[in-house]
Amino acid sequence: MRFLLIEDNVQLAKAICDHLQSDGHVADHAECLAVADDFLATTSYEMILLDIMLPDGDGRDFLNRYRARAGKSPVIVLTARSEVSDRVGVLDLGADDYMTKPFDFSELDARCRAVLRRQGGAATNRKHFGGVEFDGLAGTLMHNGVTTHLRNKELRLLETFFNTPDQIYSKAKLVDRLFSYEEDVSENAIEVYVARVRKHLEGSGIGIVTVRGVGYRLSQT
- Residue 169 is classified by DSSP as B
Instruction: Please give the C-alpha separations between residue 183 and each of 26, 122, 172, 178, in angstroms, as whole numbers.
Output: 10, 32, 14, 10
Among 120, 137, 160, identify where a domain stops. 120
Upper half-sphere CA count for residue 37 (Cβ side, 13 Å): 12
**Helix, strand, coil share (%) of the chain residues, nearest 5:** 40, 25, 35
Residue 112 and residue 134 in one domain: no
CB 53 within 8 A of CB 79: yes
User: Across-strand partners of 57?
Assistant: 54
pLDDT of residue 137: 85
Confidence of residue 123 (pLDDT cuts 50, 70, 90): low
pLDDT of residue 24: 87
Upper half-sphere CA count for residue 8 (Cβ side, 13 Å): 14
Q: CATH code at 135?
A: 1.10.10.10
β-pairing verdict for 146-149 and 140-143: antiparallel
Residue 94, pLDDT above cutoff 80: yes
Structural domain containing residue 169? 126-220
Residue 143 and residue 204 in one domain: yes
Model-level pTM greater than 0.95? no
Among 120, 137, 158, identify where a domain stops. 120
Confidence of residue 26 (pLDDT cuts 50, 70, 90): very high
Lowest-confidence region among 123-127, 195-199, 217-221: 123-127
Residue 78 and residue 22 in one domain: yes
β-pairing verdict for 2-6 and 26-30: parallel
Residue 45, pLDDT above cutoff 90: yes
Over residues 164-199, the pLDDT tens digits come to: 999 999 999 999 889 888 788 888 899 999 999 999
Residue 122, pLDDT above cutoff 70: no
Tally of domains in the chain:
2
Residue 28 and residue 100 in one domain: yes
- What is the spatial distance between Cα 41 and Cα 194, in angstroms, rounded to a whole number? 28
